[in-house]
Structure 1
Amino acid sequence: MNNLQPAMWDDNSRNLFGDAEEIGISTRRADGTLRPFVPIWVVSVDGTLYVRSYRGVDGAWYRHATRSPVGAIRAHGQQIDVAFAPAGDDVQDAIDAAYRAKYARYGDSYLRPMVATTAVAATLEIHPGN
């Protein structure tokens, strides 16, 4: 059994990435190189960063992140190595609320897919790399 706890965000990094309008997200290939960055919305709930694939589990970046859960994110000229982990069911309502609060100005055509069952099923936590 793995007893390792994920790394925690320091306040500056959590705010830098969590408050960003969107971040670039990338996953690592088998040879360690990064795939092209994809822009994605991000929310922070209780000190943890979360992302969702609006295409659900069929989204390419999501498939890569679940197969090899390491990569990088970038925003505001900063880049950091990260690890991805499935988000628990117990936090999904809070994540929905965070998406609604942060991105409401975009209206239902953009926000609704991010809180739909398809996207909820493809929610990942992002942790800073060790």
Structure 2
Amino acid sequence: MTQWDSAELDKLSTAEELDLESGRGDGTLRAPVTVWVVRAGDRLYVRSVKGREGPWYRGTQSHRQGRIAAGGVRQEVTFHEADPGEYADVDAAYRTKYGRYTSIVHHVLTDRARASTLRLEPR
């Protein structure tokens, strides 16, 4: 696993949202989607509200590589399925960062959304 540069990690994790482009098999990137991003320890995570059926999540599964951009950082990444043992820390990070959005934060805390938790690793 490649480690994040601490300055980039800080910028990406404090950004309200990030743009995520997943890669296709031919090396091109899909159109960017805007998603919430959280940090748990020294790792970054994203989730699909629609779970594994969500279009952008499905796009990450074909090639497992892409690009993210937020906070002035643009980084090529790989998408790794998070282990269920990571879910509690990711849940806590979502509650802490986005808890002020009380009417919508619960959507990323469902079992369906948890199953789509991806860890973003720089490449």
- Taking structure 1 as the reference length, what is the TM-score of the superposition? 0.91
SS at match of 2:77: strand
TM-superposed deviation, 1:25 = 0.5
Cα RMSD, aligned residues only: 0.9
SS at match of 1:94: helix
SS at match of 2:104: helix
SS at match of 1:106: coil
Q: Name the structure 2 match of 1:3.
A: none
Does the alignment pair 1:120 with 2:114? yes
- Length, aligned pairs only: 123
SS at match of 1:105: coil
Q: List structure 1 segments (4+ residues) > 3 angstroms apart after TM superposition.
A: none
Report Cα offsets for 1:36-71 as digits up to 9, x if no partner: 110000000110000000010001111111221000
Q: Name the structure 1 match of 2:81.
A: 86
Identical amino acids, percent of aligned pairs: 38
For 1:63 and 1:87, the matched residues in 2 are separated by 15
What does 1:1-130 correspond to in 2, within 5 Å?
A: 6-107=1-102, 109-129=103-123
SS at match of 1:61: helix
Contact 2:14 2:71 in 1 (8 A): no
For 1:11 and 1:23, the matched residues in 2 are separated by 17
For 1:78 and 1:96, the matched residues in 2 are separated by 24
Contact 2:11 2:72 in 1 (8 A): no
Q: Which residues of structure 1 form unaligned runs of 5+?
A: 1-5
